[in-house]
């Protein structure tokens, strides 16, 4: 039977929707206040609270996000065992160091799927080397499927990476509506988002009740649907490799016209897994003679067009620089401010200060004027890449980097939409 680790804000183990699905640590005796299995954690019967170093039951889920996510896994896969792992605090904040510790615990204790409904937009790939190594070990040595929410900034993650969903080996999930359209808030990426799954008005367990439920929207809600689907596939094909499970998820997706160019599959997770959250969908794309584009490595992301999105109005242009010096950035700023199309220029503290966001004047936001602005930016030779985007929300106050040989701290938060997401945290 598959074990799905829900790495999040915790889990309310007393909720009615979860009781029959909870993973039980075979080496631990509940309530005796003894570390029976010798792993350094007392009474970790149903999982680990990384923040307090205790079993998941002692604190539960004071924020609420993780219980809702766990409920979605249980609804999708009736037989999945849910291992609760808390890395995010009462306010939804956490660090990649905690995520790595969570992965280690999950792998050692038999998890077969690890769901990650949290993240931070614009983290420099060099800051996630340890996380990447943990994922590699999990896939190659433990045959574990890693699933992550793509994020809620309506941003192109081919251009600005989202962590951990952009990590090599992560199965990245965007959020779709009940009719198979992309949710207005969902991140997307032709090479960095694998597929979409229902993520709007999803009913699931409410942590502040033993039997209540509530509706939330976000890629946080879409990711556990896919994690539950992976668990079902593992139960149907014991011993299947990570590659096999991912291929079945991808090949079974339902192509949607409005998702073409927004994900590797251009489609929504198969109806076989989504019946509890949306009506059955049919393909709106003719696949005759078409071959699905192979997913490119997330380590070398291409930056190109965004399909039909290029026909719409854009008020921002994202530019990525190749490790500029401060004087080079000042020269670029002066050059941009001299252009007729420039309204203002922003330098968010993200992605190693390599991102420049150019805000366009109204008349340059669509049509020939928009295209001329893009062409001029690309010809300037200032930038490694230049691309339009629908909406760019890069929070400049929450991303923090502190690296050492044994610790990496990058602020994380969950990706749901109780309030408008600012991109760093719960998804």
pLDDT digits (tens, 9 = 90+) for 406-425: 233 455 666 654 332 333 45
Domain boundaries, the chain: 3-274, 313-389
CA dist., res. 402 & res. 90, Å (int): 22
Q: Cα(36)–Cα(26) distance, rounded to whole angstroms?
A: 10
As a whole-number percent, the residues of the chain with pLDDT over 70 amount to 81
Q: How many CB atoms neighbour CB 104 within 10 A? A: 15
User: In terms of CATH architecture, what is 313-389?
Assistant: 2-Layer Sandwich (3.30)
Average pLDDT value for residue range 236-251: 96
pLDDT of residue 199: 96
Rounded Cα distance between 143 and 329, Å, is 45
Q: What is the DSSP letter of 53?
A: T
- Class of 3-274 in CATH: alpha beta
This prediction has a pTM of 0.73
Contact 158, 303 (CB under 8 A): yes
- Least confident residue range of 23-27, 107-111, 132-136, 323-327: 323-327
Q: Is the pLDDT of residue 213 over 70?
A: yes
The helix or strand, by DSSP H or E, that contains position 337, with its residue range, turns out to be: helix 326-337
103 band by pLDDT with thresholds 50, 70 and 90: very high
- Predicted local confidence at residue 261, as pLDDT: 96
Q: Distances in Å between the alpha carbon of 198 and those of 154, 156, 202, 342, 418?
A: 16, 19, 8, 38, 17
Helices (H) and strands (E) in the chain, counts: 9, 22
Task: Kindly report, residue by residue over 260-287, the tens digit of the pLDDT.
Answer: 999 999 999 999 999 999 989 999 987 5
Q: Which residues contact 298 (CB under 8 A, 6 or more apart)?
A: 166, 167, 168, 170, 191, 192
pLDDT tens-digit series, residues 369-418 = 777 888 888 777 777 777 765 333 333 232 322 222 223 345 566 665 43
pLDDT score of 331:
83
| Residue 418 to residue 121: CA distance in whole angstroms | 19
pLDDT at position 415: 60
Contact in structure between 96 and 409 (CB atoms under 8 Å): yes
Give yes or no for a cis peptide into 164 (omega within 30° of 0): yes
CB-CB neighbours of 91 under 10 Å: 12
d(CA 202, CA 208): 17
User: Which H/E stretch holds residue 216?
Assistant: strand 213-216
Listed residue (108, 137, 86, 143) closest to 37, CA to CA: 108
Active-site residues, by number, are 8, 65, 220
Average pLDDT of the segment spanning 100-115: 96
Average pLDDT across the chain, whole number = 83
**Separation of alpha carbons 332 and 329, rounded Å:** 5
């Amino acid at each position: 039977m598959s074990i799905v680790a829900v790495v999040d804000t915790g889990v309310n183990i007393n909720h009615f929707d979860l009781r029959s699905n909870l993973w039980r640590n075979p080496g631990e005796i509940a309530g005796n206040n003894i570390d029976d299995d010798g792993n350094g954690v007392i009474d970790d019967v149903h999982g680990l609270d990384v923040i307090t170093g205790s079993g998941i039951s002692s604190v539960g889920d004071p924020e609420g996000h993780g219980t809702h996510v766990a409920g979605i896994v249980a609804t999708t896969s009736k037989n999945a065992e849910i291992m609760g792992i808390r890395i995010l605090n009462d306010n939804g904040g956490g660090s990649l160091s905690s995520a790595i510790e969570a992965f280690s615990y999950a792998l050692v204790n038999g998890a077969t799927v690890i769901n990650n409904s949290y993240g931070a937009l614009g983290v420099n790939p060099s800051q996630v080397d340890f996380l990447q190594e943990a994922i590699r070990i999990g896939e190659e040595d433990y045959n574990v499927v890693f699933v992550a929410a793509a994020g809620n900034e309506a941003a192109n993650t081919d251009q600005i990476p989202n962590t951990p969903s952009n990590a090599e080996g992560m199965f990245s999930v965007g959020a779709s509506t009940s009719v198979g359209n992309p949710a207005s808030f969902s991140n997307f990426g032709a090479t960095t988002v694998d597929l979409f799954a229902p993520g709007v008005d999803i009913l699931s367990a409410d942590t502040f009740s033993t039997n209540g439920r509530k509706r939330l929207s976000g890629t946080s809600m879409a990711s556990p649907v896919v994690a539950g689907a992976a668990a079902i596939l593992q139960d149907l094909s014991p011993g299947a490799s990570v590659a096999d499970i991912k291929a079945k998820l991808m090949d079974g997706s339902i192509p949607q016209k409005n998702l073409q160019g927004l994900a590797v599959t251009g489609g929504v997770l198969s109806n076989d897994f989504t019946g509890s959250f949306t009506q059955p969908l049919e393909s709106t794309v003719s696949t005759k003679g078409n071959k699905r584009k192979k997913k490119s490595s997330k380590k070398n992301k291409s930056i190109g067009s965004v399909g039909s999105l290029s026909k719409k109005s854009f008020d921002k242009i994202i530019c990525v620089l190749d490790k500029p010096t401060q004087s080079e950035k000042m020269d670029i700023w002066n050059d941009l401010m001299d252009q007729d199309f420039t309204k203002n220029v922003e330098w968010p503290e993200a992605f190693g200060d390599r991102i420049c966001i150019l805000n366009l004047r109204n008349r340059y936001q669509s049509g020939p004027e928009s295209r001329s602005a893009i062409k001029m930016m690309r010809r300037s030779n200032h930038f490694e890449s230049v691309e339009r985007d629908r909406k760019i929300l890069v929070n400049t106050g929450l991303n923090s980097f502190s690296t050492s040989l044994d610790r990496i701290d990058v602020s994380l938060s969950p990706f749901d939409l109780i309030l408008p997401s600012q991109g760093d945290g719960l998804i």
